[in-house]
Amino acid sequence: MIEVHDLTRSFGPHIALDGVNLSVEAGEFVTLVGPNGAGKTTLLRILATLLRPTSGTVRIAGLDPARDGAEVRRRIGFLSHRTLLYEDLSAEQNLRFYARLYGLPDAAPRIDELLERVGLAHRRHDLVRTFSRGMQQRLAVARAVLHRPSVLLLDEPYTGLDPQATEALSALLTGLAGEGCTILLTTHDLERGLAMGNRIVVLSRGRVVYNVPAENLDPATFPEIYHRLTG
């Protein structure tokens, strides 16, 4: 579903990505970890068609984002550090607005379903500015999957969430993965990353330095391995 070959991205003299190779199968849940400045956000922004690579190739479901950008964007959902929600609109109004942007016909049943799944059906008419950070994040996930994307890209979705909100978000993502959605998630939480992903990829200094199925990792020893690879 995601194929990246020899991907590089430079910002002037700074090399953010330095020959990244990564393959994500359909329905796979991959957790991408690495220190600040490793290139995680840059990689996700390229996959989301928000940045162009300096060199290398990217394919999403076999499509080239440089040639088929509109079709690629129909197939992906992207959650960045910003929720992209309108605080003076209600939860339901936000989803209706994005449904129009996606060109979704008869979106009401899908909106009802997602508000129920993210636990916000009882707050559907409340303004987003009255929501906690965790509630906004769950609504942002609903926004990102409103059009039923086959690929979901999540950049640090747990940032700023309390334990209850964290568990609610994890349950939502687990459910989406169980439905066959391909998920690539970045996080600094190594323990949660191991628990969530089918595969763990470590990015350091713009390179993939570790790529192992989660079932082959020992949660007790992985932090030591991670610090050795990224130190």
Q: So what CATH class is 2-39+50-230?
A: alpha beta
Q: For the CA atoms of 80, 103, 67, 181, what is the dihedral angle to 10 degrees? A: 50
Alpha helices by DSSP H, 179-213: 190-196
The whole-number pLDDT of residue 164 equals: 82
The whole-number pLDDT of residue 167 equals: 85
Euclidean distance between CA atoms 81 and 114, whole angstroms: 21
Query: Between residues 11 and 189, which one has the greater pLDDT?
Result: 11
C-alpha distances (whole Å) from 108 to each of 76, 77, 86, 112, 146 are 21, 19, 19, 6, 11
Q: Residues 42-67: pLDDT tens digits? A: 999 999 999 999 999 999 999 999 89
Q: Average pLDDT in the 27-32 region?
A: 96
The whole-number pLDDT of residue 169 equals: 84
Q: Residues 106-148: pLDDT tens digits? A: 999 999 999 998 889 999 999 999 999 889 999 999 999 999 9
Residue 32 pLDDT grade (very low, low, confident, very high; cuts 50, 70, 90): very high
Q: Residues 164-213: pLDDT tens digits? A: 888 888 888 898 899 999 999 999 888 888 888 999 999 999 999 999 99
Q: Average pLDDT in the 143-154 region?
A: 94
Give all strands of the β-sheet with 29-33 in edge-to-edge order. Answer: 76-79, 151-155, 182-186, 29-33, 199-204, 207-213
Take residue 130 and report the two structure tokens written for it.
């009255």
Residue 34 pLDDT grade (very low, low, confident, very high; cuts 50, 70, 90): very high
Q: Average pLDDT in the 60-84 region?
A: 91
Q: Average pLDDT in the 36-40 region?
A: 94
C-alpha distances (whole Å) from 99 to each of 46, 92, 148, 176, 196 are 24, 10, 11, 19, 28
